[in-house]
Chains A and B, each alone.
Chain A
Amino acid sequence: MTYSLKRLLPLVLLLVFMCSSCATETNLNQDLSAATALHNYQKPSAAACNPAKAQPSLRCGQAPSATFDNNGRLWVVWAFDNHVYVNYSDDEGKTFSAPTAVNSSPERVSTRGENRPKIKLDGKGRVHVSWSKPLAKRFTGDIRYSRSDDGGRSFIEPVTVNDNHDPIGHSFDSLGVSDEGRVYIAWLDKRDRESAEQGGDSYSGSALYYSYAEPGADTFEANIKIADHSCECCRTALDIDPDGLPVLMWRHVYGDNVRDHALVRFLTPNKPDTPVRVSHQQWQIDACPHHGPALSITADARYHAVWFNDAENKQGLFYAHSKDGGQSYSPPVNFGDYNKTAAHPYVMAVGNRVYLSWKEFDGKETQVLVQQSNDDGNSWALPKVVLSTSNASDHPLLIKNDRQVFLSWQTANEGYHVIAIEEEPIQ
C-alpha cells in the first residue's frame, strides 16, 4: 500500500497554512503529547535507571537503533548495564515485547560518540546485531556480532569479527544484511597505524576494514582492508545494493588532513571495487569531527548520501546522489540551518521519495527536522519539524517499512519515539 499524496494533500495544506515552517507550538505539542500518551513516558530519575536497581528497559536503554522486518515488525536494539538488548513492537512502536539479552556474559558496549549497537533482519527473519566493545585501555576495542535464529527469543554467543586480536582500536562498526542472510560488517581499524608507528612511521587516521559471514554462519571470513587513512572518530555507513552487496561510505583523510567522504561498492562479497571520492569540499582539520555520513540505496540502485562538513564556504549538512553506482555524484546541496548547529544528518530513500533528517538547536530547544523530495532528490519540500525536546537527546535516525518512513529518536525527557513521517508537498 502506498500513501497517496492526493489523499494527504488537504492535511498537508492545512499544516502549511497554520505555519509556513510547520514549527508551531501546537503541532509540536500535539506530536509530543501523542507520543507521551502512547508510550506513557515519564522522565525517569537517575536512580530509576541505576543499573544496580533498575531492570533493563527501553526507557533506560542507551543509544537505541531500530529496523522493520519484512512482516512490519519493528525491532529495537539498545544497551544497558554491559548488555545488548533486543525487543520488538507489532504496532509500530506503541508497545514493545519484553527485552531479550543478546550477550549472556556482561561486556562493555560502546554508546559514546557515534558508536551504537546496530540491528538488521534478513528475509528469513534472522535477527542480526553488531556493536563495538571497548577494552580496558582507551582507544581499544573489538567488533562483536550475534544472531537470533528463533525470532529474538535467544541469541548465539557473540563472536569477534576483527581477526586481529591485539588490544588496539577496532570500532565504529556498521552492519548490513542481504535478504538471503549474508552479513556484512565494516569498521575502523588501527592495525596498520600500529604497525606503521612501531616501524617509526607516521600514519594518519585509521583504516577501513570489512568482513562478511555466509547466511547462517557463525564465523566471519578473513578481514579485508578497504582503505588506509579513514577518519578515526566518525561513524561508517553501510547499505545494501539491489544485488545484495554492501556499499560503504566513510569520512576519509585525504593528503594533509583533508576530511572528505569516500564510498566503495563491491563486485562480489570479497571483492571491493575501487573507492571513489564523494565530496571535494576540502575540509582540512586535524580534529575529530565526531560526524559520520549516512547512505540509502533504492531498488533502482540510486545512492543517496548525506554528511557534515565545515570547510570554508562549504559549511553544514550536504546531500548528493549517484545514478551510476556511486561513480559520480550530483552537486552537493546544502540543507539545515548552520547557525542552529544543524547536525547528525540521516537519509532514507524509498522509490523516488527521499527523506533527510537532522538535529538543530536554538539555545533552548532541540528540534528534529525532516525534508522530503518526491523526485529522486532533485527538488525538495520545505523542512518540517517532526519533534522537539528541551533536554538531552540522541542522534535522530530514519527507518522504513514497506509503506512509510519513520523517525527513530530517543530523548531524555520523553523517551524513545518512532514517529511516522507524513508526506509533504514539493515546492
Chain B
Amino acid sequence: MRYKYHRSVFSLLLLIVSSLLSSNSLAANSRDFVQGSYTQIIESHKNRSLFVSLWSIDCPPCREELPEMAAYFSSHPEISLVLISTDGKDLATEVEQVLQQNGLADAESWIFAEDFVQRLRYEVDSAWHGELPTSYFYSPGQPRQRIRGRVDFKGVDD
C-alpha cells in the first residue's frame, strides 16, 4: 500500500515535470512543413472534419483570429484543427509563443521549413496567392471549402 502510494506520487510528479518541460520547450512543438507535408496532414485527418488555417505572426488579422479560433475549437472537439505558420523556422520560437499566448499551445502546428515557399503554397492550393489568413474546411465526402481572410468564429454557431 505504502509502495503504491509512493508510486502514484512519483507518477504525478513525473507528469507535472514533463508538462512543464513541454510548455518550456517552445520551438519543438511545431512540425516542419516541407514538400509533401500537406498531403500527409490531409491523409492523417481523413474521415474527420478538418479545419486548416494558414497564418503568420506578421499578419494582424491572423493574430486577431487566433483567440477566437482557440475558443471555437475547444468547444468543437469533433473537428480537427491544424495550424500552418508561413513564417519560416527562424521564427519558430515566436510562433510558439504566439500560439501559447492564444490558448493554442496544444494545437497541431506546422511551420514552413523550406525557402521555396512558392512550392509549399502551391501544394496547399495552386489558386492561393499568399493572402493570410487563408483556411480550408474539409468535411468527409464533401469538396473542400476555401475560406479567405479572417473567419468569424463567433458567428459560425449563430
Contact = CB atoms under 8 A, between A and B. Distances in A.
Interface in B115-138: 115-119, 121-122, 126-134
A339 interface: yes
Contacts of B58: 112-113, 138-139, 233, 288
A288 B132 contact: yes
B119 A361 contact: yes
B115 A290 contact: no
B99 interface: no
A113 B59 CA distance: 10
A286 B61 contact: yes
B139 to A, nearest CB: 23
Interface in B26-85: 56-62
A80 interface: no
B106 interface: no
20 contacts: A138-B58, A139-B58, A232-B60, A285-B131, A286-B150, A287-B59, A287-B132, A287-B150, A288-B59, A288-B60, A289-B130, A289-B131, A290-B132, A339-B127, A341-B126, A341-B129, A359-B118, A366-B118, A392-B118, A393-B118
B103 interface: no
Contacts of A364: 119
Contact of A286 (B116, B122, B149): B149
A339 B129 contact: no
Interface string A108-123: 0000110000000000
Contacts of A41: none
Given A138-B94, A232-B60, A339-B126, A290 B116 contact: no
Interface in A383-427: 391-393, 412
B60 A233 contact: yes
Contacts of A286: 61, 149-150
Nearest to B132: A288
Given A287-B132, A392-B115, 7 more contacts: A112-B58, A257-B149, A288-B58, A341-B126, A343-B129, A391-B115, A393-B118
A78 interface: no
Nearest to A205: B60
A77 B117 CA distance: 24
A219 to B, nearest CB: 31
Contact of B121 (A233, A339, A341, A412): A341
Nearest to A361: B118
A338 B127 contact: yes
A325 B60 CA distance: 34
B119 A363 contact: yes
Nearest to B98: A138
Nearest to A309: B129
B131 A288 contact: yes
